[in-house]
């Protein structure tokens, strides 16, 4: 399950791509046909992004500010460049993990 999550693969076959875009989960796995619409991560990935990346960014900003005292404009330029890609990465991993856990524990969302 861990390699499938890290690589963004289907939780059943481990070879089909889970995402059709950056954060969009496919409707079905192109390799094994697993219906991925029944697995909804909801707001979990966003919460992971907020809590994990937000905490790390605040700590890093405080450390950098205390150690180097850069001007505020440098903070304004530096942190979005680091935080935005990191937040997308964390949200993608969290979404793959939540879909894999829902598949593993047979939790299906019926709409």
The answer to whether the beta carbons of residues 11 and 1 sit under 8 Å apart is yes
Place of tokens 């047979």: 106
Site membership for Zn ion, residue 31 (CB under 5 A): yes
Which C-beta is closer to Zn ion: that of 48 or that of 103? 103
- For 59-69, give one letter per residue: b (16+ CB within 10 A) or e: eebeeeeeeee
**Contact residue for Zn ion among 5, 18, 25, 29 (CB under 5 A):** 29
Span from 23-31, 48-56, 63-71, 91-99 in contact with Zn ion (CB under 5 A): 23-31
Span from 11-19, 43-51, 56-64, 86-94 in contact with Zn ion (CB under 5 A): 11-19
Cα Rg of the chain (Å, integer): 17
Which C-beta is closer to Zn ion: that of 29 or that of 100? 29
């Amino acid at each position: 399950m861990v390699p499938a999550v890290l690589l963004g693969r289907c939780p059943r076959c481990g070879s089909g791509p889970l995402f059709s875009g950056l954060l969009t989960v496919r409707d079905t796995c192109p390799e094994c046909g697993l219906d991925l619409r029944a697995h909804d991560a909801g707001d979990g990935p966003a919460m992971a992004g907020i809590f994990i990346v937000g905490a790390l960014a605040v700590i890093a900003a405080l450390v950098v500010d205390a150690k180097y005292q850069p001007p505020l404009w440098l903070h304004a330029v530096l942190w979005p460049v680091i935080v935005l890609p990191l937040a997308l990465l964390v949200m993608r991993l969290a979404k793959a993990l939540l879909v894999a856990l829902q598949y593993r524990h047979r939790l299906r969302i019926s709409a």
